A and B are shown apart, each in its own frame.
Chain A
Amino acid sequence: MSASPTVTAPVALRPIDDRPEVPMRDAWGKGLVALAAEYPELVVLDGDLANSTRADLFAAAVPDRFFELGIAEQNMVGMAAGLATVGYVPWISTFAAFLAKRALDQIRVVVAQPGLNVKLCGSYSGILTGKTGKTHQSVEDLAVFRAMPGVATIAPADAIELRSAMRAMMETLGPVYLRLTRDPSPTIFPDDYAFRLGAGVLLCDGEDVALISTGVQTVRALDAADLLAADGIAATVLHLPTIKPLDTAAVVAAAERTGAVVTAEDHSIIGGLGGAVAEALAETRPTPMRRVGWRDTYGESGPNDALLEKYGLTAAHVAAAAREVLGAGRPAS
C-alpha cells in the first residue's frame, strides 16, 4: 500500500444548489449491482441485515451471488476468507460496530494476516444509526482497522465518491475496510469525480487554518469553512477519504500552508483521522491542532440533529475549534 501523488489544486465540487441528499447505503447496494455485471467473481455475504445495509438491492438483482449467512459475523468473515482463496471477491454486509469488534480476531487471522481479497463493509458507521444507540454506533472502527497491518481503510464523503471507491476496491488486491453511513447526506462531488486510493482531496485552499476531514464529516467541514469565511478566516479543506494509507504529504502541505489544523470525523478522536493526522504531523511538522469527533465517550439513541449537537460534531463545532486553535496562537518561531 503506497499513497498516490497528492492533489494540489482544489477539485471542482457540485454547485451548492445541486447537492442531492442520498443515503450512502443505497448507493452501496446499487454500486454492488453495477460492479457485479463487470466482475463475475464478486459475491455478497450478508449477516441478516441486507434490508438495512441495502445489500437487498444486490440480492434482488443478482440472487445467485448473494449469500445469507445469518446472524453469525465471525463465520461470515471466515467463509469470506475461504471464498477468497478459491478466486471470489466477497463483499461483507453488516454494521460497522459488529464487523470491527465481533469479528475482529477473524479479520485479523484469516483475512488481514494472509492478505486475502475480502472487502469489509461496515454500514451504519458513526453516530447516526437510526436511533439505535451505543450498541450500534461505531466509534472506534477506523482506529481498529488503521492499527491492523495490511488493511486499507476508506471513508467516502458521498455517494459519488463511494461509487468510485468501490471500483477502486475491486481493482485493489487485498483486504479493504469501507466505512458507510445510513442516512441521506449531500452529494458534493460531480459525476465524473474519480477516487484514488491513498490520495487526499483538496476542496478549499485558504491560508489561515486547515480543516482536515473524512467521511460525511467533510460536508460539515465545508460548511464550517463557510462559517469561518463570514468571519474573514480563509480555510483550507482537505478531505481524506483514505485513512490508510494516509496521504501524509497532503497533510503536511496543508499544515505548512496554514500553521493550524483542525480534524473532523464522526469517530473517536483517539486513533482515527485525528489520531492519524496528529501522529503524522508530530513526526514531520508539529502544528497546533484541535480534533473534532467523539471525545472518548459512547453515544446514545436520539434524533440526528440532537446527537450531532450533544456530541460536538456540527459544522459550528468545527468552526469553533478552528477559532480556538487560531486564538491559541502559533508557536513562536
Chain B
Amino acid sequence: MTETVAIAQPRPSLADLRRRSAEARGLIVAAVHKAGAGHLGGPLSATDLLVALYFDALNVDPERPRWDERDRFILSKGHSSIGLYAVLALRGYFPVAELDTFDQIDSRLQGHPDMSKLPGLDMSTGSLGQGLSPGVGMALGARLKGASFRTWVMLGDGELQEGQIWEAAFVAARYELDSVTAIVDCNGLPQFGWPETGGFTRERSFDDPGAKFAAFGWHVVECDGHDHGAIRDAFAAAVAHKGQPTCIVAQTVKGKGVSFMERDFNWHAKVPTDDHLATALAEIEAIRAQPGEEG
C-alpha cells in the first residue's frame, strides 16, 4: 500500500498467528502472576487483535520505533498494557525477559502505557475514553503532511461509555479521515458492569457499537476477534475503504484462552495463584500445540 514498506518478513500464515497468540497469552498470564498486579481479562480478549496488528497489519520496524512513516497504534484501553507489551516483546521491540519488570519500580513497562518511557508506544493512555482523539489527530496530521501511514486505535466496549469517544467519532467522520481505524474489543464485560443478580454473567456493557459508529458516519465491519482469518479480512476491508473512517467491531471473549477466566468479570484484574498459573499455562500450551490447518 505504501511506498516505504518496512515489513521485510514474509506475511505470516494464519497458523503462525495462532501460535503467536498462544505465546503472547502465556507471557501475559505469567507477567501478571510475577508482578502481583495487572489486568488479565482485557489483555486476553485483545491478544489475537494485537498479534494480528503487529505481526500482520502494521507497517512498523522494531529497530526504528520512532520512524516517521510507521503506522501508529494507540491502545486506548490502556489497562490492557501487558497484552501490548507481550506482543511488542515477541515482535522484537525489547527482550521478552524485560516483561519480568512489568509494574516494577524504574521499569519502562508501566501499569498503563507511558510513551515517554517506552519507545514503540505512540500515545500514553490509561484514563479511558481518551485514545481515539489522538488517533484522529495523527490521521489529520498524516493528511496535512501528505504522509501515507495509517493509525489504529483499540477501544474497549465498556470504554465506549465515555463521551469523548463520540466527540472524536464525530470529528473523524466530518473530516473523512479514512486512515484511522477504531477496533472495538467487544468482550461484553467492563470492570464491574451493570450488576445482575447471581453469577458472573452480566449484561453487555454497551449495546451495538457498530450501529452507533455507523450513525456517526463511520464505515463499520464486524468480525470474530479470535479468528485470525476473519481479523485479516476485517483489517483489509478497513484499509480498502475510502472516504470514511472504519470501525471494526471485534466480538471477543473476556479472559479468552484460559477456561476459568473466560466470561468472568472477576478476572478483569485479578492476580493468579501459582495453581492458577500452572493450569492456565497448560491450557494455553495445549492450544499452541494444536496442529491447526495452515492458512
- Give the interface of A toward B (CB within 8 A): 43, 65, 67, 69-70, 72, 74-88, 90, 105-106, 108-110, 113-115
Contacts and interface: CB of A to CB of B under 8 A. Distances in A.
Contacts of B137: 78-86, 90
Most buried by B among A69, A70, A86, A108: A86
A65 B141 CA distance: 11
B134 interface: yes
21 contacts: A70-B170, A70-B171, A74-B133, A77-B133, A78-B131, A78-B168, A79-B133, A81-B123, A82-B136, A82-B140, A86-B68, A86-B141, A86-B145, A88-B141, A109-B124, A109-B126, A109-B127, A109-B130, A110-B134, A113-B114, A113-B116
Interface of B: 68, 72, 114-116, 122-127, 130-142, 144-145, 147, 151, 163-164, 167-168, 170-171, 174
A91 B68 CA distance: 22
Nearest to A74: B164
Nearest to A106: B130
Contact of B136 (A43, A75, A109): A75
Nearest to B74: A82
A91 B140 CA distance: 15
A157 to B, nearest CB: 33
Contacts of A108: 127
A110 B123 contact: yes
A86 B133 CA distance: 14
Contacts of B135: 82
Contacts of B114: 113-114
A78 B170 contact: no
B116 A115 contact: yes
Contacts of B164: 72, 74-75, 78, 106
Nearest to A150: B116
Nearest to B129: A74
Given A106-B130, A110-B130, A82 B171 contact: no
A70 to B, nearest CB: 7
Nearest to B180: A82
A75 B140 contact: no
B133 A82 contact: yes
A135 B127 CA distance: 26
Contacts of B124: 109-110, 113-114
A99 to B, nearest CB: 15
Nearest to B66: A85
Instruction: Identify the interface centre among A75, A80, A108: most chain B CB within 10 Å of its CB.
Output: A75
A258 B168 CA distance: 53
Contacts of A80: 137
B123 A82 contact: yes
Contacts of A81: 123, 133-134, 137
Contacts of B72: 85
Contacts of B125: 109-110
Nearest to B134: A82
Contacts of A115: 116
Nearest to B78: A109
Contacts of B122: 85
A79 B116 contact: no
A104 to B, nearest CB: 11
B4 to A, nearest CB: 15
B132 A78 contact: yes
Given A85-B134, A85-B138, A110-B130, A79 B145 contact: no
Given A86-B137, A108-B127, 9 more contacts: A65-B144, A75-B164, A78-B132, A79-B137, A82-B133, A85-B134, A86-B142, A106-B133, A109-B127
A79 B168 contact: yes
B72 to A, nearest CB: 8
A149 to B, nearest CB: 12
Given A82-B138, A88-B141, A75 B126 contact: no
A76 B134 CA distance: 9
Nearest to B142: A86
A78 B171 CA distance: 12
Of the candidates A65, A77, A79, A80, the one having the most CB atoms from chain B within 10 angstroms of its own CB is: A79
